[in-house]
A and B are shown apart, each in its own frame.
Chain A
Amino acid sequence: MDALYFEDFSPGEVVEFGDRLVTAEEIVEFARQFDPQPFHLDEAAARQSVAGGLIASGWHSVALMMRMICDELFVGSSSQGSPGIESIDWLKPVRPGDRLSVRLTTVGTRPTRSRPEIGVVEMRFDLLNQNRELVMRQQGSVFFGRRTNGEAQR
């Protein structure tokens, strides 16, 4: 894939990618490191909880989605990280055996005033499960390099 630049994104564009099977083992492994609550750690304890069974940490869902985004978009691109995320909504639980994919909508693009070599792409990432249910929605901005330096165009 050719490196992606700021100029490659157009508002309104939608792309889908990724196919990630989630296992109970990795749900528990992530939880042990970062979110050791019973409903992320232990099936029996999770059944007694409000979750009704083992579910992935919301931060694990975020991390799994990030990996799919990196593999599809960011690695090898001109991406320069993100200044922040407006919102994350955990809408449905992610359970062992779920298959996750990502739907990216480009919400908007804008040049940066202070850094002409960089532009901001506003993106909405939807995480879908195998039933095409929306399990998580994340909206935020990503810095991308510009193919033509904004300064050079002045």
Chain B
Amino acid sequence: MIGMWYEDHEVGQTAPLGAHRFTREAILDFARQFDPQPFHLDEAAAAKSMFGGLCASGWHTVSVSMRLLVDGRRAQRQALAAHGETPPPLGLGRGVRDLRWSAPVRPGDEIAFSLRVESLRETRRPDWGLIGMRIVGVNQDGREVCAYTLIGLAARRPA
């Protein structure tokens, strides 16, 4: 398990984030709200599209990966608090680089996500550092479906 402070991170560290099964209902629900393109909403139209069948919005896939990341961190914070330690303040995300959707996510697919620490950079502020994490989703057949680098602020351990 990777620690929560900036200083706990090293480039190359990896961690599993857990897996999520994408149901047809959830795919349709996300698409109706945020990405109502025919290949995310309608099986017949999707069959005629480049995707050859219904698939999840790419934004749905990455939003789910965020949920798994946040759930893992929350569990870690609770564990720290249970040991009487104060967890670090939460930092905000700055952005994303090199996001790729390499294969469609279909109804019923189970996507396992993982992260790898890709970069560490100090900032002008002594209390925050920038961490780049490569997040990758792989389906039940071992095929990568999405990958992106999330750049976010992490609190520095007080000296």
The chain A residues found within 8 Å of chain B, CB to CB, are 33-39, 49-51, 57-59, 62-64, 66-67, 70, 74-75, 79-90, 93, 118, 140, 143
**Which residues of chain A are within 8 angstroms of B95 by Cβ–Cβ distance?**
87-90
**Which residues of chain B are within 8 angstroms of A86 by Cβ–Cβ distance?**
97-99
**Which residues of chain B are within 8 angstroms of A79 by Cβ–Cβ distance?**
37
Asked if A67 contacts B37 (CB within 8 A), the reply is: no
Q: How many A-B residue pairs have C-beta atoms within 8 angstroms? Tell me.
A: 100
B104 to chain A, nearest CB (A): 9
List residues of B (33-67) whose CB comes within 8 Å of A's CBs.
Answer: 33-39, 49-51, 57-59, 62-64, 66-67
Asked if A90 contacts B94 (CB within 8 A), the reply is: yes
B74 closest partner in A (C-beta):
A36
**Which residues of chain A are within 8 angstroms of B153 by Cβ–Cβ distance?**
50
Per-position 1/0 for B92-125, Cβ under 8 A of A: 1111111111000000000000000000000000
Number of interface residues of B (CB under 8 A): 36
Q: A50-B89, A58-B92 are in contact. List 15 more A-B contacts (CB 8 A).
A: A36-B74, A39-B90, A50-B90, A50-B153, A57-B66, A58-B93, A63-B59, A66-B34, A74-B37, A75-B36, A80-B50, A86-B97, A87-B96, A87-B97, A90-B92
